Amino acid sequence: MPYYHRVLKLSQRQIEYVNKFNNNPKIKFEKISCLNCSSANKKILFTNEEHGFDQNTVLCKNCGLIYLNPRMTKNSSDFFYNSDLFCNIYAFCVDSLPAPETSFKNEQVSYEQVNSSFERKGRLVKSKTFYRYDYGKRPFHETINSLNLQYQSVCDIGAGDGSTLKTFQLAGKDVWGYEPSKLLCNLAKTKGVNLINGFIDDVKGEYDLVIMIHVFEHLLNPIDALKKLRKHIKRYLFIEVPVSINKLQTIKNIHNCYFSLNTLSQVVTKCGFKRIYYEYKLSRFNDTISALFEKSDKTEIYYYNYAHEVKKYTRIYYKYYIKYFIKRVLRKILRKINPNFEKKIVNIIDLRGS
């Protein structure tokens, strides 16, 4: 039996937009097989996501990949991102991922807001021979530098405001980026970073290193996308995604896949790459994985134990639901005793992403 996913506390406006989405006849869904192993054998985990969208999240009972099924069709996905639904529900800002497969027609963020965010992120510190942004202290710049990779050209897919590329540029690399948002492209150009308004289908040329930071999980078909992108990669591919290690990621309708190290590695190696490095970053909410792959002429598919993967994520799922049930019961009891005490206790049992 599928369970209802906990919903965030939304503003009245967000609730109205979620209802608008759920009742919109223009939003169409399509049933798909597992994006990793093509199996149709699945277990429904949730029938909604954290904003209240009507959206099935399933676990492949063959290989253990968690993914949306049915998912929005390509036309519906484009409509969702191009309409005001996405911006108003997700409170789009420069720190969140722009729509990966479309450009915004209704940018609801001002240039001043985006520029301010870029400047805030641009407080640079120098670490030995490499630069990094001090906000968030993402490790991949130091990681790439520490591996002594031989590369000069860098391409960022879904580059946002170009702040990631700016770090590489300051380190003396040749940088290019592809970004669906015209607003962010224009901002990046004022900062000296060349972004092209487009996405994977628009990529030209070849690059030593291609990076995708919190983009891969948004793709409708990551394998097809990587096969298209492979011809533009000379040597290395770097991917950072939220990952399910010992807890579930936050469930969102804009994430089509919920990867583990095993499922991510198998999907990418199927497309002509071999994994040469990875590292985890643990968080209270969403853990992340940074993985570096090298282009290979010989297909070396990464294999793992499918049965163990399915069992692991089935256990994680039931762990989530048990904690969710306990939290609901506790809230009801504590609310009657003392509302302030309720908040303190419930925060200890934080379920978001667990």
Mean pLDDT computed over 133-157: 72
Q: Both tokens of residue 237?
A: 């591919």
Q: Check residue 220 and give its pLDDT.
A: 92
Mean pLDDT computed over 53-59: 93
Mean pLDDT computed over 334-352: 59
Contact status, residue 324 vs residue 6, Cβ threshold 8 Å: yes
Q: Check residue 344 and give its pLDDT.
A: 59
The residues near 199 (Cβ < 8 Å, ≥ 6 apart) are 100, 101, 102, 157, 158, 178, 180
Q: Please tell me the total number of residues recorded for the chain in this structure.
A: 354
The model's pLDDT over 194-240, given as tens digits with 9 standing for 90+, comes to: 899 889 999 999 999 999 999 999 999 999 999 999 999 999 999 99
Cα separation of 283 and 82, whole Å? Answer: 31
Q: Which of 124, 83, 103 is nearest to 185 (CA)?
A: 103
Please, which pLDDT band fits residue 339 given cuts at 50, 70 and 90?
Answer: low
Q: 73-112 burial, b if ≥16 CB within 10 A, otherwise e?
A: eeebbebbbebebbbbbbebebeebbbbbbbbeebebeee
Percent of the chain clearing pLDDT 90 (strictly above)? 44
Instruction: For the chain, give the mean pLDDT.
Output: 80
Contact status, residue 124 vs residue 170, Cβ threshold 8 Å: yes
Instruction: Give the residue with greater pLDDT, 254 vs 347.
Output: 254
Q: Check residue 130 and give its pLDDT.
A: 31
CA distances from 269 to 27, 142, 199 (A): 33, 24, 22
| Helices and strands in the chain, H and E counts | 11, 15
CA distances from 320 to 59, 280, 314 (A): 14, 21, 10
Q: Check residue 45 and give its pLDDT.
A: 94
Local structure of residue 98 (DSSP, 8 states)? P
- Helix ranges, the chain (H): 12-22, 74-82, 85-90, 111-121, 140-146, 163-170, 182-190, 222-230, 261-269, 306-337, 339-348
Q: Tell me which H or E stretch contains 30.
A: strand 29-30
Q: Check residue 98 and give its pLDDT.
A: 36
Cα separation of 23 and 67, whole Å? Answer: 22
Q: Which domains does the chain have, with CATH numbers?
A: 111-299 (3.40.50.150)
Cα separation of 348 and 167, whole Å? Answer: 37
pTM reported for the whole predicted model: 0.80
Does the pLDDT of residue 268 top 50, yes or no? yes
Does the pLDDT of residue 131 top 50, yes or no? no
Please, which pLDDT band fits residue 320 given cuts at 50, 70 and 90?
Answer: confident
Q: Check residue 26 and give its pLDDT.
A: 84
Mean pLDDT computed over 75-98: 64
CA distances from 59 to 154, 292, 311 (A): 35, 26, 11
Does the pLDDT of residue 128 top 70, yes or no? no
Q: Check residue 164 and give its pLDDT.
A: 87
Does the pLDDT of residue 125 top 50, yes or no? no
Does the pLDDT of residue 266 top 90, yes or no? yes
